[in-house]
């Protein structure tokens, strides 16, 4: 028998164990598994060398900034960064392009601008803002959903000028509109008035240290925002998703809401699992400035527990690079006015493998869920993505679990060469990334994917995550 591609010597997960097999690929999809390659030929052979081979990992929260802010990142550099980090599908946010994505027309504009650049696959978040509510433009929600966006995003705090925040009643109206589509609504959960007040207060008092940013945008601002979001979601019947959740108390609130049977989910990011604000913001200053900010070591540990037991559903990165000379350290720039955001798409999988799985904080089955199957199910693209079934896309993240290496900002593929993980020593690294049967990254050769190979992935179905919490 002849196949397009054979991925040989792949050690694939089966629950918390692995089995060694050869994966057969035809027309970009998995068509079989075999232990015996006698009489079987592949036009191409990718050798997994006995390494752990996961379904392609998904980063469901990126800000690639294309079109409009391509001095920060474009779809080629952003998806190259993804490929090098073992990510085969990204889901890109609606806010960081010009125009921002809040209608089918604007979404098509963005898809046209990026379609010849991507080297991994991509889905899209739809958008809804306070302005859309005020101007009676909520019909755009259903139209974007029908077009195939995977979720909607609202901001309780301001992000970019072209994507206005929602007031509380505007958020409730947005929830109602999105609830009718059956899609999740993700919220940036920080209380605007509190963040605004304490940032101004601390700045006026003369604080110039890095940790001041985190102390101003305090834990309580996230806690009350999540509480409000849960109340509104319950009222509107919406599927609430807390994006980039940062606090341990947030994990408790989400866990309690799940136990009450509400459709509330949450993601955390590698930096909320591994970095604390006092150390990282002292060392990296505005290069560790993000919103919500880094928290404490006890929040880190609480998030690992919540990720393992299911209160936190999966991991994403909030990849949001800024141009260093103009947006991070221009003349007169300081902790209060530098832009908040860090790159992350290429460090997610290795961080979670090294600090989660290899250190015993995550089981193998949970590793597969938080990087692959849970985001795919949540965003309605499973089992095309996030699974290794017959008929699933032949996306694979091949990981050398023993490889010891150090994150180096200057070796990253993202356009903005900074990361608060610079100097972090890890054990475990993605060494090959395969998208629909095509090798797009190889640790020895670097990026080998082609610009424009990446495809737009529309929503396939509506699925909800199991609310069972395992503790
Ligand atoms: Zn974000």
pLDDT attached to residue 462: 87
CB burial readout 378-413, b (16+ within 10 A) else e = bbbbbbbbbbbeeebbbbbbbbbeebebebebeebb
% of the chain exceeding 70 in pLDDT: 99
**What residues does 188 pair with on adjacent strands?**
155
Give the model's confidence band at 470: pLDDT under 50 very low, under 70 low, under 90 confident, else very high.
low
On the question of pLDDT at 144 being above 80, the answer is: yes
Give the model's confidence band at 463: pLDDT under 50 very low, under 70 low, under 90 confident, else very high.
confident
Average the pLDDT over 191-216 and give the result: 98
- 393 Cα to the center of ligand 1, angstroms: 27
% of the chain exceeding 90 in pLDDT: 96
Give the model's confidence band at 465: pLDDT under 50 very low, under 70 low, under 90 confident, else very high.
confident
Alpha carbon distance 64, 113 (integer Å):
12
- 167 Cα to the center of ligand 1, angstroms: 18
User: DSSP secondary-structure letter at 319?
Assistant: B
Alpha carbon distance 62, 466 (integer Å):
24
Structure tokens at 292: 């919500």
CATH class held by domain 57-378: alpha beta
Contact 123, 379 (CB under 8 A): yes
- 61 Cα to the center of ligand 1, angstroms: 6
Closest CA to 171 of 159, 151, 187, 193: 187
- 42 Cα to the center of ligand 1, angstroms: 41
pLDDT attached to residue 468: 67
- 22 Cα to the center of ligand 1, angstroms: 38
- 292 Cα to the center of ligand 1, angstroms: 10
- 161 Cα to the center of ligand 1, angstroms: 15
pLDDT attached to residue 369: 98
Tens of pLDDT, residues 103-136: 999 999 999 999 999 999 999 999 999 999 999 9
Tens of pLDDT, residues 53-86: 999 999 999 999 999 999 999 999 999 999 999 9
- 434 Cα to the center of ligand 1, angstroms: 26
On the question of pLDDT at 31 being above 70, the answer is: yes
- 250 Cα to the center of ligand 1, angstroms: 17
* Helices and strands (H, E) in the chain, number of each type: 15, 17
C-alpha distances out from residue 87 to 57, 276, 335, 418, Å: 5, 25, 31, 19
On the question of pLDDT at 43 being above 90, the answer is: yes
Tens of pLDDT, residues 251-284: 999 999 999 999 999 999 999 999 999 999 999 9
On the question of pLDDT at 151 being above 70, the answer is: yes
pLDDT attached to residue 108: 98
- 152 Cα to the center of ligand 1, angstroms: 12
- 223 Cα to the center of ligand 1, angstroms: 18
- 69 Cα to the center of ligand 1, angstroms: 15
- 131 Cα to the center of ligand 1, angstroms: 19
Alpha carbon distance 98, 163 (integer Å):
10
Domain ranges of the chain: 57-378
> Which residues have C-beta within 8 Å of that of residue 129, sequence separation ≥ 6?
100, 102, 154, 155, 163, 164, 165, 166
pLDDT attached to residue 430: 98
């Amino acid at each position: 028998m002849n196949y397009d591609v054979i991925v040989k010597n792949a050690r694939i997960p089966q629950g918390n164990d692995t089995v060694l097999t050869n994966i057969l690929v035809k027309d970009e999809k998995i068509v079989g598994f075999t232990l015996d390659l006698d009489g079987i030929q592949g036009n191409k052979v990718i050798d997994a060398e006995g390494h752990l081979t996961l379904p392609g990992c998904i980063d469901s929260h990126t800000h690639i900034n294309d079109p409009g802010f391509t001095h920060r990142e474009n779809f080629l550099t952003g998806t190259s960064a993804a490929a090098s980090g073992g990510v085969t599908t990204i889901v890109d946010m609606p806010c960081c392009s010009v125009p921002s994505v809040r209608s089918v027309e604007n979404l098509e504009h963005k898809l046209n601008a990026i379609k010849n650049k991507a080297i991994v696959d991509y889905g899209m978040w739809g958008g809804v803002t306070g302005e859309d509510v005020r101007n009676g433009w909520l019909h755009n929600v259903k139209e974007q959903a029908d077009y195939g966006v995977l979720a909607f995003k609202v901001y309780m705090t301001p992000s970019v000028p072209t994507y206005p925040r929602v007031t509380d009643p505007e958020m409730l109206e947005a929830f109602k509109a999105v609830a009718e589509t059956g899609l999740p609504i993700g919220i940036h959960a920080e209380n605007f008035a509190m963040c605004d007040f304490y940032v101004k207060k601390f700045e006026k008092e003369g604080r110039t240290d890095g940790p001041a940013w985190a102390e101003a945008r305090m834990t309580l601002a996230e806690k009350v925002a999540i509480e409000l979001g849960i109340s509104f979601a319950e009222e509107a019947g919406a599927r609430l998703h807390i994006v980039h959740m940062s606090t341990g108390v947030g994990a408790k609130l989400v866990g309690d809401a799940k136990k009450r049977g509400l459709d509330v989910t949450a993601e955390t990011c590698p930096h909320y699992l591994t970095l604390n604000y006092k150390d990282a913001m002292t060392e990296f200053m505005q290069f560790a400035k993000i919103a919500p900010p880094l928290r404490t070591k006890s929040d880190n540990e609480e998030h690992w527990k919540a990720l393992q037991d299911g209160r936190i559903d999966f991991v994403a990165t909030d990849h949001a690079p800024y141009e260093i000379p103009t947006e991070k350290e221009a003349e007169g720039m300081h902790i209060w006015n530098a832009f908040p955001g860090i790159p992350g798409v290429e460090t997610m999988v290795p961080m979670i493998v090294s600090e989660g799985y290899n250190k015993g904080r995550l089981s193998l089955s949970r590793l597969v869920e938080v990087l692959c199957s849970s985001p795919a199910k949540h965003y309605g693209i499973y089992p095309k993505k996030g699974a290794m079934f017959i008929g699933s896309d032949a996306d694979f993240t091949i990981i050398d679990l023993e490889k010891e290496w150090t994150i180096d900002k200057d070796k990253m593929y993202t356009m903005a060469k900074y990361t608060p993980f610079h100097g972090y020593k890890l054990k475990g690294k993605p060494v090959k990334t395969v998208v629909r049967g095509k090798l797009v990254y190889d640790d020895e050769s670097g990026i080998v994917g082609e610009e424009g190979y990446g495809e737009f992935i529309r929503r396939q179905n509506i699925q909800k995550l199991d609310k069972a919490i395992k503790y």
